[in-house]
Structure 1
Amino acid sequence: MKKNKNAMFKLKRDNDKIFSANNRGSLSQNNANTEEKKKDSSKVRVIVCVILLIVIFGGFAMRLFDWQIVHGDEYKELSAASTAHTVQSDATRGEILDVNGTQLAVNETAYNIVINKVYASEDTDLNLIIINLLNTLNECGEEYIDELPISIQDGGFVFDEGSEGDVEYIESPVMLNKEGLSAGEIIDGLAKRYHADNIEDPFTKRSVVSVRYNMEKKGFSFEQVYVLADDVSSDTVAVVSERNQTVPAVEIRTVNERVIKHGELIPHILGVVGKLNEEEYEANKDKGYSLDDNIGKFGIEAAMEDYLRGKAGEKTIISDADGNIVGEEETVKSKPGDTIYLTINSRIQEVAAYTIGKNIREAQRLGLEDVKNAKAANAKQQSKMGEDCVAGAAVMLDVRDNSVICAASYPNYDISRYYDPDYSSYLFEDEDIPMFNRAFEGAFAPGSTFKPCVATAALQENIITTGTTIHCNGVYDYYEDYVVHCLGNHGDQKLESAMAHSCNCYFAEVGRRVGITTMYMYAEKLGLGSKTGIEVYESTGVLAGRDSTTWYEGNTVQAAIGQSDNAFTPVQLATYASAIANNGVRYRTHLVRKIMNYERDETVLYNDPEKPEIVDQTGVSQDNIDLVKEAMYAVTQTDSMRQMAGKYPIEMGCKTGTAENAGSDHNVFICFAPYDDPEIALCVLFEHGGRSYLPQQAACDILDAYFYDKDVDDIKKDPWKF
């Protein structure tokens, strides 16, 4: 067994040796295989890298071939390009329409001749281009834009009248930097500045200097083209285009010219557009305006400028070192301005303008006739009979949201002729001041139309009731230095009869009891002596006591009957009547119904008539405001009023007012109608009217336009007559 055990052990060792030998052989074989695989993998990587390098360099070679052979000339130009200029394109201005879409201020196509500096940067080239263009314009009977304040007279240069400011600018350090120059010396200095001093003909020299001077003022540059002539005829366009086919610096640009339709309809409200002056430029340059841009000057054109203007587009122009254009690209598209819909009804506005003008002229005619008769009879009073009545206004509001239905001011004018030199001279020289907007800016003593305000305050403050009696003997002398005279001797008066008879004694005493502070507090809440909210410029008016520099107790009784310092605008008086009709709630008075985009398929802003903006509330109880309304209705039931406004087929609440002043008395009429369910509030005011029935007559014509859809032709055929 031992022998066998040793044999087995030996056998095991032999086997181990054999296994070890075999194992070493196997490992050697494996190592050999691994080395072989590594060599193969390295070869593959080398091959892949070579292929990638071939592809990459092949791509470069193809791209270089494209750059140098296929598009070689094109990219050679681009490689030489040295300057990129951004040029703005004008935005189309938004239009203005009335509430029904009737056109008021719109755009029509016009042609401008412009010079683009990108295509003519050398002074000599530019001057030659200008001379050729001016000759062409002269042949075509067109004028260029000429703002040089120097003219040629008798063969010499002279300063234009009123040119001091321009001359001062030319002599300033930014230009010639020398003071006290003669007109000829300025021409020579500017000619040298613009390399035009070699031009011998004085007319040609002056023309070139004029254009170059205006170019500099307007910021002519690579980014800003210069308009040499605007609104030229199509015949001129054809001639200029033909003669300048090889002159790329001259361009014919199609622009939208502002055109005013119905220029006499709402001139005081509409406003105009014009070139920026230096003050406007400084105030608006951060908004992207240039000196050559247009801007709204006043009225809706100015008030809605941000909506109407639109946004200019941009085009990038690339030029090479020689000034040649090698590329253009529109980078920003222009956006036209928005369309403004006003609350004005053109038909009613036309009636209002016609009837106040007709009745004012009638007041003056009757006044002159009365003066003539008084002088012939050697009467004690020989003036102040309405002969000086030359102006007035009318404003109608929709009481449901205080939108302005019409707002007429007389004397009127045609705003489409605003830039006509002869016509504008007449406008500024006319002593009746036709450009003055009496509807929104004129502040006048209200007379007895202030009495409903006093009644409102007294009732709400429990100072009076409907049963409070005050005696009238024709004179109120509580304050010896402030005696108030009444138009009648009314005896004992209560609120309704006192309002109907417009008793000064009654309201002077009520005003004394109320006090000036409480009185003007209610006046403010009702819209008197406060801006109404209309979008265009309006006067604040004057509230007695609040705005007075000095005040005595006796002044209060004068204020209570609408005298003293009280002075309100017709739009405030209409707003006041509307607030009473709305039970003491005052809405924001406004002229804009809605704003839409230029295409009119998207609403930008909407003043919803169903959701009026509340400005103030009086806090007066319904019972008290009803008492004031009833008193205003009682006005229509007096004997005299039954033959005037009380005769109108639709019942109303109203109040007349006669205000003393230098000259004939002012006449005021306010009302709201229908009485039971008010839709409108109206104020008609005649300066120095002298007759209270004429404003009422005009008011009834305007009411006819609203309630019965009458137009001017209807009113002319069948005017309201008392």
Structure 2
Amino acid sequence: MRKSRHTLKSPEQELRIFRARALLAAVLVVGLTGLLMGRLAYLQVVKHEVFITRSEKNRVRVEPLPPTRGLIYDRNGVLLAENRPTYNLTLVRERVEDLDATLDRLVEILALSPEEAEAFRVRSRQRQRPFQPALLMSDLDERQIARLAVNRHLLPGVEVEAQLLRYYPDAEMMAHALGYVGRINAEELERLDPGRYAGTHFIGKTGVERFYESELHGEAGLRKVETNARGRVLRELGRTDPVPGKDLTLTLDKELQRLAFELLDGRRGAIVAIEPASGEILALVSAPGFDSNQFVTGIDVASYRGLQEDLDLPLYNRAIRGHYPPGSTIKPFLALAGLKEGVITPDTTIYDPGYYQLPNDSRRYRNWLRWGHGRVDMERSIAVSNNTYYYTLAHDLGIDRIHANMTDFGFGTRVAHDVFGESDALMPSRDWKRGRFNQPWYPGETLSVGIGQGYWQITPLQLATATAVLANRGDWVKPRLAKGLGDDPVPTALPETPEDITLANEGWWDRVFSGMEKVISGHEGTARRTGVGLEYRMGGKSGTAQVFSLGQDEKYNAEELAERLRDHALFMAFAPIEAPQIAVAVIVENAGGGSTHAAHLARAMTDAWLLDEEEPDVESLREELEEDDGRVAGN
């Protein structure tokens, strides 16, 4: 019989196994508990300050409060730039989980066009300081606001903010003088004070908005708010109010500015008017203008391209950046230079056969009146705008003395205190030509400069400033656009004001003024039609700037030329002569002789300022200009 095998249980062995397993489990539990307690101690004790700060930031948020931008007024307290309430769409990228999905949802909600959607995405990715809201859209309408409110729960990190937006009531006629504000770009973000500009989306880009940006902007504030888990504001815990920007009062007169803009009547040109005694700029107009409000919220591509491609260049500020040959408007200044340098006296005369010739040169430099003016003295040379007299004077002075004396009047320099973007144009000299062309200066070029042609280029602001210095009998008062900042007036004595111009004989000013008065009131004056019915004494000088040069024996005929090839019309004037209150410079591109078109505009400006005409008859003046266009009364 086979013996069977049986495996018997060993209680001792099973007890040992159980105890080992229980001990291992106990060690594991104790170890894990210790690890958990250690981690809890680390988080709650060691990292207490860190995590309580993070928790507080999740619950409490500090938001910047942008300041209210200062308002801009004209000299009479008329509002030129205001702030109107609007709603902006902003996004804080750090609070958005999926930026692309959020943007797609916003594009769908707002029903944006493909072009708008692309601009929208570009703005969302522009450089921005951490946790600072990026401006996606400005000036939302009621329908867009309603759609965003309904879908608010789907858009964490997206907010509709009520803010004040810059608005220009008279945008087109004030665009070049005031400038405009626009969105802060990445380059500007780098240089701006992050604390001062926290929450600010706009900055001055051009004009006085740019020059006085620091004063107009103000100081940002902040507020501490409690938020829920979605980042929505529950209540305000505290705030530091922003400091609003200072209001800016300009020297401009809105009605005179409007008149100047209407007088140009859409033609390409500029008018600048200055009060000589104070240097206050009364009007600064460049035409055509443009709607500067488009640039505040961001002009669309098609509109901007249209402005850029417009042949009339509406974005170009002709008043401060336009370069024009001064033509005969500079003859009174050259006469004074001749007197100052002892080259002529007030009674010096020449005989004009209709041309001038350099010694040993067969070329004839012609007077505008081809048969000449005969015997001409200084006063008559100004009244009839005789070229031959100034060819002679320029040759005797030489380019070096001409350059020095004309620079004293501000030609070739930036003349104003606070006109942003002003050009210094060009007052040519030997050194300039050598540096520019590596060529010597030729005597014939001096003759061209003597009648305001050749290389010489001016801006309308320079011409108005020189006229104001002339009216002041050489006393320099730097032109300015700001009359007051907040409660503080802008001082008349400004830094870097040029030295006054002095003459050996004060009576020489009177003799030059007499010649300028005869331009308008004399029987031979080139602008005598402008002086009809004049109620005050006015001195002026016409000028005609050539767009292209004629051959020696060629004759200018405006009717045979394309409109843009015709001469520019210039006129400068001041009045009244005995106590000047206004100096004016007018440039109308391709309008022909300055003694007709431009002179009438200057007269209308001085009439409006001195006679306080409430409603100047612009329509009648336009009819008169149409009759005079094409008439050549002089240079």
Common fold by TM > 0.5 = yes
Shift in Å, 1:498: 1.8
Q: Counterpart of 1:81?
A: 55
Is this contact kept in 2: 1:134–1:144, CA < 8 A? Answer: no
Is 1:649 matched up with 2:535?
yes
Residues 181-220 of structure 1: pairs in structure 2 closer than 5 A: 214-219=123-128
Counterpart of 2:545, as a letter, is A
Q: Distance in 2 between matches of 1:326 and 1:665?
A: 68
Shift in Å, 1:337: 1.6
Q: Distance in 2 between matches of 1:322 and 1:420?
A: 34
Residues 481-492 of structure 1: pairs in structure 2 closer than 5 A: 483-486=364-367, 487=369, 488-492=371-375
Cα distance, 1:505–1:256 mapped onto 2, change above 3 Å:
same
Counterpart of 1:449, as a letter, is T
Residues 278-297 of structure 1: pairs in structure 2 closer than 5 A: 278-284=186-192, 289=197, 293-297=201-205
Q: Counterpart of 2:507?
A: 623
Helix, strand or coil for the counterpart of 1:426? helix
Q: Counterpart of 1:453?
A: 333
Cα distance, 1:477–1:78 mapped onto 2, change above 3 Å:
same
Q: Distance in 1 between matches of 2:155 and 2:387?
A: 80
Larger of the two Rg values belongs to structure: 1
Shift in Å, 1:240: 3.6
- Percent identity, aligned pairs only? 28
Is 1:587 matched up with 2:477?
yes
Is this contact kept in 2: 1:701–1:720, CA < 8 A? Answer: no
Deviations 1:80-123 (CA, angstroms, capped at 9, x unpaired): 835475432222222222222222221111112334568x46x2
Is 1:90 matched up with 2:66?
yes
Alignment counterpart, residue 708 of structure 1, candidates 611, 614, 626: 611
Q: Distance in 2 between matches of 1:250 and 1:607?
A: 43
Helix, strand or coil for the counterpart of 1:515? helix
Alignment counterpart, residue 293 of structure 2, candidates 399, 412, 416: 416
Shift in Å, 1:319: 8.2
Q: Counterpart of 1:464?
A: 344
Counterpart of 2:331, as a letter, is K
Is this contact kept in 1: 2:383–2:525, CA < 8 A? Answer: no
For normalisation by structure 1, the TM-score amounts to 0.68
Gaps of 5+ in 1: 1-74, 149-209, 361-390, 597-602
Alignment counterpart, residue 443 of structure 2, candidates 524, 532, 553: 553
Q: Distance in 2 between matches of 1:537 and 1:638?
A: 42
Deviations 1:603-635 (CA, angstroms, capped at 9, x unpaired): 1x4235699995331122422222221221232
Residues 208-287 of structure 1: pairs in structure 2 closer than 5 A: 214-219=123-128, 221=130, 223-241=131-149, 243-244=151-152, 249-284=157-192
Is this contact kept in 2: 1:265–1:346, CA < 8 A? Answer: no
Helix, strand or coil for the counterpart of 2:468? helix
Alignment counterpart, residue 585 of structure 2, candidates 668, 677, 683: 683
Shift in Å, 1:259: 1.4
Q: Distance in 2 between matches of 1:661 and 1:136?
A: 55
Cα distance, 1:133–1:471 mapped onto 2, change above 3 Å:
closer
Q: Distance in 2 between matches of 1:411 and 1:326?
A: 51
Counterpart of 1:668, as a letter, is L
Q: Counterpart of 1:542?
A: 426
Is this contact kept in 1: 2:366–2:388, CA < 8 A? Answer: yes
Is this contact kept in 1: 2:64–2:198, CA < 8 A? Answer: no
Shift in Å, 1:656: 1.1
Helix, strand or coil for the counterpart of 1:568? coil
Is this contact kept in 2: 1:276–1:295, CA < 8 A? Answer: yes
Gaps of 5+ in 2: 1-48, 435-439, 549-564, 629-635
The number of residues matched between the two structures is 541
Q: Distance in 2 between matches of 1:404 and 1:315?
A: 42
Alignment counterpart, residue 79 of structure 2, candidates 103, 128, 131: 103
Shift in Å, 1:255: 0.4
RMSD of equivalent CA atoms: 3.5
Shift in Å, 1:420: 4.6
Residues 299-310 of structure 1: pairs in structure 2 closer than 5 A: 299-310=207-218
Alignment counterpart, residue 693 of structure 1, candidates 551, 574, 596: 596
Cα distance, 1:656–1:318 mapped onto 2, change above 3 Å:
same
Counterpart of 2:577, as a letter, is Y
Deviations 1:493-537 (CA, angstroms, capped at 9, x unpaired): 221122222222212212222222221211111121221114221
For normalisation by structure 2, the TM-score amounts to 0.76
Shift in Å, 1:136: 4.1
